[in-house]
């Protein structure tokens, strides 16, 4: 196994992507340390060791990297568009502290490889004013005009990571994620992203209800399924590539289409009510995967509809346990994967796309 005898650190291991990455690394045979200010929300971590620690403090970063070869820096103060547009100062300060201290700790601790999780939010606003503009290329980010707060910090942290590479020889990877979604992600509370928020609203609705949609619904995005994200992270880490890379899907949809897809999956007819006073982010954003394809000879393969079907079924199951899900129960595809909740009940089966999910998911409540 690729990871046998290797020691990896995943920061942000209590969060959505970090949690999935820990599980993937364990499957590959790595010894894994997870660090986060919180434990994973929906199921126990698969990490060999989990430190609950605040990475804004250098001493905690130092302890996190001790005896570690591969660092995956995924910890960040972040959330959906509502959260990141209302917390510029807090979020920027927190993330500056985490990223600068993690880099310095990795250098001092002699980490062999360092992965930094950046974001499509680094791209200039003026290239995202139209719904159908071409996909964003890595070279578009500078000259800079990124998203206020979160995007500026991500861009500077990319720069800082590359300075550590140039000046200290830190073997760094920098990857820009584009809207990652999937099971075990936040779906309520204000930090959830569009696919999860829409899935929750649809799952809670009765056929014929209205569904609120932020913006006019014509804004465009692409969404990348979590298993593809984790696969991409691992491929980039093993690649030795130092250039900044997009990691996203090129399947562009309007937000209205996203809502329609979820409704189709759910088997519900709902009426959309657009709220143009809510934040909607940039007008259009897509990934250009040319560089990713040329470096990895691979790109995220999962169709949005397939990933959404799995995500919707998981969110519906979570809401059902709280008595908030409304029928119909999502239709499952074959081959089935067993979904077991921690109370022992067999929730049912769910669709799988080859290689995307473990055959059983244990959910903790
Ligand atoms: P997430 O919010 O689920 O996970 C981030 C984790 O970082 C959280 O569990 C949080 O508790 C932890 N964290 C925050 N402050 C911390 C601190 N001071 N010390 C220790 N841990 C702290 O987010 P995610 O979706 O899993 O994102 C992971 C990374 O990918 C982040 O860097 C994020 O900016 C980046 N990213 C994600 C997306 C996406 O669509 N999910 C898109 C672009 C970039």
For ligand 1, whether the C-beta of 172 sits within 6 Å is: no
Query: Mutation test of ligand 1: which of 12, 34, 79, 196 has the most ligand atoms closer than 8 Å to its C-beta?
Result: 12
73 lines ligand 1 (CB under 6 A): no
Among protein residues, the one with the nearest Cα to ligand 1's atom 1 is 15
> Token pair for residue 180?
């990652």
pLDDT, mean over the chain: 91
Q: Which of 236-240, 265-269, 273-277, 328-332 has the lowest mean pLDDT?
A: 328-332
Pocket test of ligand 1: the residue of 9, 17, 176, 221 to mutate, having most ligand atoms within 8 Å of its CB, is 17
State the sign of the Cα–Cα–Cα–Cα dihedral 18, 44, 28, 182.
negative
Higher pLDDT among residues 61 and 358, named by residue:
61
| Ligand 1 midpoint to CA 249 (Å) | 19
Whole-number Å distance, alpha carbon 12 to ligand 1 midpoint, is: 6
**More confidently predicted of 79 and 244:** 244
In this predicted structure, what is the pLDDT of residue 357? 39
Q: Is 74 in the pocket of ligand 1 (CB under 6 A)?
A: yes
| pLDDT score, position 337 | 42
Residue 259 near residue 196, CB atoms below 8 Å:
no
- Supply the pLDDT for residue 109: 98
CA of 248 to the centre of ligand 1 (A): 16
166-199: string of b/e by CB count within 10 Å (b at 16+)?
eeeebbbbbbbbbbbbbbbbbbbeebbbbbbbbb
User: Mean per-residue pLDDT for 121-139?
Assistant: 96
**47 pLDDT above the threshold of 60:** yes
Task: Report the 10 Å Cβ neighbour count for 2.
Answer: 10
Looking at the predicted structure, is the pLDDT value of residue 363 above 80? no
Residue bearing the bigger pLDDT, 12 or 335:
12
Of 246, 81, 219, nearest to 148 (Cα)? 81
Residues with a catalytic annotation lie at 150
- pLDDT confidence of 333, banded at 50, 70, 90? low
Residue-level pLDDT at 288: 98
| More confident: 75 or 361 | 75
pLDDT digits (tens, 9 = 90+) for 341-354: 333 333 333 334 33
Distance of CA 1 from the midpoint of ligand 1 (Å): 28
- Nearest atom, ligand 1, residue 185 CA: 3
Ligand 1: which atom is nearest the Cα of residue 17? 26
Residue 219 has what pLDDT? 97
Is the minimum distance from the CB of 117 to ligand 1 under 6 angstroms? yes
Tens of pLDDT, residues 200-242: 999 999 989 999 999 999 999 999 999 999 999 999 999 999 9
**pLDDT band at 324, cuts 50/70/90?**
very high
Q: pLDDT (tens digit, 9 = 90+) per residue, 58-116?
A: 999 999 999 999 999 999 999 878 889 999 999 999 999 999 999 999 999 999 999 99
Backbone angles phi, psi at 212, to 5 degrees: -75, 135
Give the model's pLDDT for residue 211: 96
The confidence band for 185, taking pLDDT boundaries of 50, 70 and 90, is very high
Q: Is the CB of 157 under 6 A from ligand 1?
A: no
Q: Give, for ligand 1, the residue of 53, 59, 75 to mutate: max count of ligand atoms closer than 8 Å to Cβ.
A: 75
Measured from the Cα of 180, ligand 1's closest atom is 40
Report pLDDT for 344: 35
More confident residue, 320 or 345: 320
For 268-274, what is the mean pLDDT?
A: 97
Going along the chain from its start, the domains and CATH numbers come out as: 7-180+223-247 (3.40.50.720)
Which atom belonging to ligand 1 lies closest to the Cα atom of 118? 44
Q: For the residues 16-29, what does the mean pLDDT come to?
A: 98
């Amino acid at each position: 196994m690729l990871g046998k005898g290797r020691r990896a650190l995943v920061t942000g291991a209590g969060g959505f992507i970090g949690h999935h990455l820990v599980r993937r690394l364990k499957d590959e045979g790595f010894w894994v340390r997870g660090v986060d200010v919180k434990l994973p929300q929906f199921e126990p971590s698969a990490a060999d060791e989990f430190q609950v620690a605040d990475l804004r403090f250098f001493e905690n970063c130092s302890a996190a990297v001790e005896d570690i070869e591969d660092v995956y820096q995924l910890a960040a103060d972040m959330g959906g568009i509502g959260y990141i547009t209302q917390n510029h100062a807090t979020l920027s300060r927190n993330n500056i502290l985490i990223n600068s201290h993690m880099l310095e700790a990795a250098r001092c601790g002699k980490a062999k490889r360092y992965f930094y999780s950046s974001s499509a939010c680094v791209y200039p606003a003026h290239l995202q004013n139209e719904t159908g503009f071409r996909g964003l290329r890595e070279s578009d980010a500078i000259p800079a005009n990124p998203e206020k707060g979160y995007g500026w910090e991500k861009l500077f942290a990319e720069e800082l990571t590359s300075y550590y590479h140039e000046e200290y020889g830190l073997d760094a990877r920098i990857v820009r994620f584009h809207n990652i979604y999937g099971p075990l992600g936040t779906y309520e509370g204000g930090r959830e992203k569009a696919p999860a928020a829409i899935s929750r609203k649809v799952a809670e609705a009765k056929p014929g209800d209205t569904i609120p949609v932020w913006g006019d619904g014509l804004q465009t995005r692409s969404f990348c399924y979590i298993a593809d994200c984790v696969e991409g992270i691992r491929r980039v880490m093993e690649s030795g590539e130092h250039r900044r890379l997009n990691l996203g899907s090129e399947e562009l949809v309007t937000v209205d289409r996203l809502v329609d897809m979820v409704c189709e999956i759910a088997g519900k007819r709902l009426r959309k009510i657009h709220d143009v006073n809510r934040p909607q982010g940039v007008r259009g954003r897509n990934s250009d995967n040319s560089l990713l394809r040329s470096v990895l000879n691979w790109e995220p393969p999962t169709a949005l509809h397939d990933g959404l079907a799995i995500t919707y079924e998981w969110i519906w199951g979570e809401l059902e346990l709280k008595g908030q899900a409304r029928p119909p129960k999502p239709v499952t595809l074959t081959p089935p994967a067993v979904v077991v909740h921690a109370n022992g009940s067999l929730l049912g089966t769910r669709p799988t796309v080859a290689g995307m999910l473990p055959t059983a998911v244990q959910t903790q409540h």
